[in-house]
Amino acid sequence: MHFDVEDLARRLGAQLVGTSEDAQRSRAPLTVDGLAIDSRLVSPGQMFAAIRAERDGHDFVDAAVAAGAGAVLVERVPPEGTSGPTLIVASVPDALAELARVARGRLALPGSGVDRVVGVTGSVGKTTTKDLLAAVLGRRFSTAASEKSFNNELGVPLTLANAPDGTEAAVIEMGARGAGHIRALCEMARPTVGVITVVEGVHTEVMGTIEQIAAAKRELVEHLPPDGLAVLNADDPNVAAMAAHTVAAVVTFGPGGEVHAGDLVLDDELQPSFVLHSPWGSAAVRLGARGAHNVTNALAAAAAGLWLGVEVQEVAAGLAEPPASPWRMELRRAPGGPVVLNDAYNAGPASMVAALEALASLALPDGGRRIAVLGVMAELGSEGPGAHRRITELAEELDVEVLAVGCDLYGASWSVGVIDDLATDDVATDDVVAEVTAALGDLGPDDAVLVKGSRVAGLERVAAALTRPGR
């Protein structure tokens, strides 16, 4: 979106400095187009916001300006001064929250009675559901959506501020690390439709019990307006119970839901085909996302899209598009090498089970090996050791070999690169990747490898190495 810098400074309560005397004399409007928080990713004309995290964004203001930033949002001015329009605020995160509210206000269509802003949350499946719903809504409306898994107090402002002018629908992924987090995101994005995928025991070290996780996710439907919609998983009692906590209308999906699937078939590429049944009609779907477990995510996206006015055949066409976010059930093969199922973006107990079952369902010739290259499932706290062992037990039941990378929690006899500090984001170093490929040996076209772990494991590098020609 384009923002007038002087108006934005007023809205954010910012002191504006660094505008040229020529610009002030001409009164030509000074504008920025969108937002960036990484100086390496600044597009010409964007506003760069200096975030203080592991690295202080204020140290990269000059780099952002050199990359073409049209203005910068900071808490302090560099000692050497500024070389362009600079908005100085007490708190950059607070200013970004207000910027998100400003951008959100432009998504309503005046006089139309239509306000298509969808929030998506859940323990697993929210990114795929977000991608599928964006594809569905994009069949009829100009649609913006969260990039990858940008779903926190920084990701939501990025999504809203970078929505193009004229956006007619927005899909906002919403993550949580505790009570109140989704409530804060709702205050920025003001969703009119809320989608809850499922409640599972993930990130229990920071999120707490299943009941606490459900309460945190429920904040989305609690903040919907009376003329909005809650899209709830009928197959998950914790999600279905949220119907009693919203003033919005409710549509359910999944087995026993109003939007459900019939005649499900999984092909040799793990792509599901099914018949979508709904109060708005039925249609045949060949899902662009791989894995039978993604049918549930597709039904959630379909329910929201149908309620928002997308015709059922167009919904089916949208669901056929591959999800936009990377490293989720991607199927690749190097010439002469194994099938590699790259699901390396993240992992928890529920998604790990689904991925192992998908690996086991791949049709292989007699003698073909199924191997799971697994990184840690992070933030499970005291439940971690037991959860990892149960994954190994399931793998044994499914005749899947396990190669653990970076941790010894799986109790697998086969492991490489074990380290003590699993908080690091440098597990899959070049040396560890080389160890993995050496340990796997000479795999051929009859074999299949699943690569999966939490984000800290970084196992997408392993998947890339396994699909590299002539490895």
Model confidence pLDDT, tens digit, residues 142-165: 999 999 888 999 999 999 999 999
User: Which neighbouring-strand residues pair with 39?
Assistant: none
Looking at residues 397-408, what average pLDDT do you find?
A: 94
Quote the pLDDT of residue 26: 45
pLDDT at 426 over 80: no
What is the domain-level CATH number for residue 417?
A: 3.90.190.20
Cα distance from N-terminal residue to C-terminal residue, the chain? 44
The Cα-based distances of 410 to 307, 314, 359, 377, 394 in angstroms read 43, 44, 18, 10, 11
Residues 338, 359: Cα–Cα separation, whole Å: 12
Looking at residues 60-66, what average pLDDT do you find?
A: 93
163-177, 237-251, 409-423: range with highest mean pLDDT: 237-251
Helix, strand, or coil (residue 146): coil
Contact at 8 Å (CB) between 185 and 58? no
Q: What is the pLDDT of residues 449-459, one digit of tens each?
A: 999 999 889 99
Verdict on whether the full-model pTM lies above 0.85: yes
Residues 43, 28: Cα–Cα separation, whole Å: 22
Q: What is the pLDDT of residues 434-445, one digit of tens each?
A: 999 999 998 999
Residues 359, 340: Cα–Cα separation, whole Å: 9
Residues 132 and 265 in one domain: yes
DSSP 395-461: HHHTT-EEEEES--TT--S-EE---S-TT-S--S-HHHHHHHHHHH-S--TT-EEEEE--GGG-THH
Residues 379 and 429 in one domain: yes
Choose among 81, 57, 85, 88: nearest CA to 70.
Answer: 85
Q: What is the pLDDT of residues 307-340, one digit of tens each?
A: 999 999 999 999 999 988 889 899 998 888 999 9
Residues 61, 71: Cα–Cα separation, whole Å: 10
| Confidence band, pLDDT 50/70/90 cuts, at residue 110 | low
Q: Write 259-267 long-range contacts (CB < 8 A, 24+).
A: 259/299, 259/302, 259/303, 259/306, 260/299, 261/285, 261/295, 261/298, 261/299, 264/292, 264/295, 266/292, 266/361
Residues 408-432 as b or e (16 or more Cβ within 10 Å = b) = ebbebeebbbeeeebeeeebbeeeb
Residues 399 and 288 in one domain: no
Tell me which DSSP letter residue 112 carries: T
pLDDT at 28 over 70: no
Residues 307 and 212 in one domain: yes
Quote the pLDDT of residue 167: 93
Residue 260 forms part of a structural domain: yes
Domain boundary among 45, 67, 89: 89
Residues 459, 303: Cα–Cα separation, whole Å: 33
What is the domain-level CATH number for residue 109?
A: 3.40.1190.10
Amino acid in the structure at residue 131: D
Residue 31 forms part of a structural domain: yes
Looking at residues 66-70, what average pLDDT do you find?
A: 95
Residues 173 and 313 in one domain: yes
Residues 217, 200: Cα–Cα separation, whole Å: 11
Residues 439, 413: Cα–Cα separation, whole Å: 12
Tokens of 75: 């808490």
Question: Which of these ranges, 26-35, 113-122, 283-292, has the smallest mean pLDDT?
Answer: 26-35
Residue 314 forms part of a structural domain: yes
Residue 196 forms part of a structural domain: yes
Domain count, the chain: 3
Residues 291 and 372 in one domain: no
Residue 325 forms part of a structural domain: no
Contact at 8 Å (CB) between 113 and 97? no
Name the percent of the chain lying above pLDDT 90. Answer: 78
Place of tokens 């002087």: 6
Looking at residues 410-429, what average pLDDT do you find?
A: 67
What is the domain-level CATH number for residue 53?
A: 3.40.1390.10
Q: What is the pLDDT of residues 183-222, one digit of tens each?
A: 999 999 999 999 999 998 777 777 889 999 999 999 999 9
Contact at 8 Å (CB) between 262 and 285? no
Quote the pLDDT of residue 397: 97
Tokens of 227: 């003329």
Residues 299 and 162 in one domain: yes
Residues 70 and 142 in one domain: no
Name the percent of the chain lying above pLDDT 70. Answer: 93
Quote the domain boundaries for residue 158: 97-319
Residues 257 and 370 in one domain: no
Amino acid in the structure at residue 187: E
Residue 122 forms part of a structural domain: yes
pLDDT at 68 over 60: yes
Tell me which DSSP letter residue 145 carries: E
Domain boundary among 66, 89, 112: 89
Residues 259 and 118 in one domain: yes
Domain boundary among 46, 72, 89: 89
Residue 324 forms part of a structural domain: no
pLDDT at 23 over 70: no
Quote the pLDDT of residue 423: 45
Residue 82 forms part of a structural domain: yes
Residues 106 and 75 in one domain: no
Q: What is the mean pLDDT of the chain?
A: 91
Residues 334 and 284 in one domain: no
pLDDT at 81 over 90: no
